[in-house]
Each structure stands twice: as C-alpha cells, then as structure tokens.
Structure 1
Amino acid sequence: LPESRFAAFAAWVDAGMPAGSCDVQPEDFDTPRVCTSGVVWKDDDDDDDLLNPALADGDDGSERMNPGRACIDCHTRERKAPRFSVAGTLYPTAHEPDDCFGVDGVAKRARVILTGGDGRDVELAVNEAGNFYTKGALAMPYRARIVVDGRERAMAAAQTNGDCNTCHSEKGSQGAPGRIVLPR
C-alpha cells in the first residue's frame, strides 16, 4: 500500500471511521504535473507568461492572488492581510503547481459547501483563479464538499484546519492525495 493511501486510511480510522462519500477514484489523482489553465500568478510587472495579464495584479489585496499556496499561513504572517477561517483553491487536476490559476469557479458556477460542527452550512463562491475563502466563524470540526452542476465531491473525514492548501498541495500531504479537484 503506498504511503499516501496508508496515511489517508489511518486518518480515517483516527477520525472514528466516519461515514462519507468515497467518490475519489485513484485515476482522479494519477495525473501529471500540469498548469491546466496556462495562467500563472505573477507578483511583479513581467506578465510575459500570462495568457491573460489582466488577471495578475500584485500581492496587495487581490482575491486571485497566489492560487494553490497556503492562504491562511501567509495571511497570518502579513499584518495587513485579512484573516480567513477557511481558504483554498479548486483545480481541474490533482497536481497543479503553486501560482497556477485553478478552475474558473465563476464560469463553472462552482461552490464549496462547509458544514460546521453545529450542522450549519456555509456556502463559498469559487473565483476566477479557483480561490475560495471565508472570514466567518465556523464550528469545528467541519466537513467540506465541492458542488458543480449537481455533482459533488466530499471529504470523507471532518476537518479542523481551515488552510486547505496546506494539505491539498501539488504533491499532497497529511493524507491528501493532491489538490482539491472537481467532482466527476
């Protein structure tokens, strides 16, 4: 059993083996490293490698900044940055590099739905870079699911860390097999 699958199984057991969706198929995460959108965030004035340079506007206040990076970690270090309770990036494939724009959530009408430990749902929009976030309080532990065109992908285990890209990185960590990806 590969270490990543063992870690995911161990996390599920440690969480009390909660019932959940098992819609993750191995082929969903058996993908090459690729920037599917072809659009890369830049925080300087050199926009030569952008398909749409208008989408990159520096690291000051843009909701589209640094897709794929650990949002809350960075925002905690930056004094003037807004504080999020949950934040991350939605991608079309599992191994997209940091700063690559993810799913255009506006065009896809993608939503992230968080169900707090108190049973209340919080619905988050996904922006043009694939980023989503909330500043609102959320009862822990929470569950998360992605909804697009009536299809869903749900995390099997409840979560207590709202910095989604910390685990859902290009290579995945702490049991996550890679990026947060669209439902099948």
Structure 2
Amino acid sequence: MRELPDPRQERQALNWGLAGAFVLRVAMLVSASWTVKFWQVEVLGAIYKHFGQKFRNIETEDQNFAPNLGIESLGSVIVLIAFTDLAFSLDSMTTAIALADRFWILLTGGILGMLALRFLTGLFVRWLAEFVYLQDAAYLTVLAVGGRLLLKACQPTYLPPEWMVLMMVAISLSWGFSKGVVVE
C-alpha cells in the first residue's frame, strides 16, 4: 500500500480490500463445505499443509526486500489486498476444515481471522522478531493439523481426538513463546 500517495486512500484500500477478502472467503467456505465431502480433497489439503510451507519460505538475501509492484490506483490496491488475503487464508481455512465441519464455525473463524489480520499484523510481526521459537512452533502446529487431516481422510479409525490436537497446539505455542530476545 505504500504506493498510494494519500494515507486516506491507504485506509480506504485496506477497508475495501478486506471487504473483498470477506466475499472471497465466504465463496471459499461455500465451496469447501461441498468439497469436504470428498476424501480426495482432504488428502490434497493434508499434502498442502505438509509441503506448502516449503514453497512459500524462499528467502531473499535481503530480508527487507519489498518489490515495487507499480500499483498506484486505489482499485488495483483493493484487488491486490483481497487476493493476498485469499492466498494467505488458504492455510488457515484448510486448518479450520480439518478441525471443524460446521459452516457457521468456519465462517466465524474466517471473519475473526480477517479482523485479526486487520488489527494485529504489527503485533504478530513484532512477536516473530521477539520470540526465537515462535516460527518453529507455528510450523509444528501446521504439521499436527496436517497430520490430523491426513488421518481423517485415509485412516479415520486412528484419528486422534480433537482435544489432543488442541493440546499439542497449546504446548507448541507455549514453547514458541518461551524464549524471548530484546528487539532494538
């Protein structure tokens, strides 16, 4: 959004972009509530959960690298925000579908995720810089949820109870927040 010249336009772009993101998430949930009936889709989701991170974490030499996309119009930025949110929500929506199969729970989680994205992004970035193990804990969480999704699709008799997965997530995040460093 740094390409927009006016801070008022930046706020507008963010708000309208999130409105577009909401529409895209609802569309994704509606299609997910239909496709989740097919075990093949759950297997693809589990594969995505396990191997998708490998392709997303390609690092550049300069960690602060931010390409100038040449996007200067308000409409272009709104579309970019909506589709960027959709791309990042694939991970969380796959996780939600693995843990719950009720549409209203998924929709509520999607809305809360968008609100968190809007208001807490700076906090999460600061936490990742401050807590040494937090990123690894997040990967362990994704691994656990992906494993549950794979078992649900392939061997439902061995599916661990929901409380066990939630306990693993809680332990993982506790470890993630266990060692902090001073950020200057």
Same fold, TM exceeding 0.5? no
Using CA pairs under 8 Å that are at least 6 residues apart, name the structure with larger relative contact order, 1 or 2: 2
Shorter-chain TM-score: what band?
A: under 0.3
Greater strand fraction, Structure 1 or Structure 2: 1
- TM (norm. structure 1) is 0.25
- TM (norm. structure 2) is 0.25
Greater helix fraction, Structure 1 or Structure 2: 2
Q: Which structure's CA Rg is the greater one?
A: 2
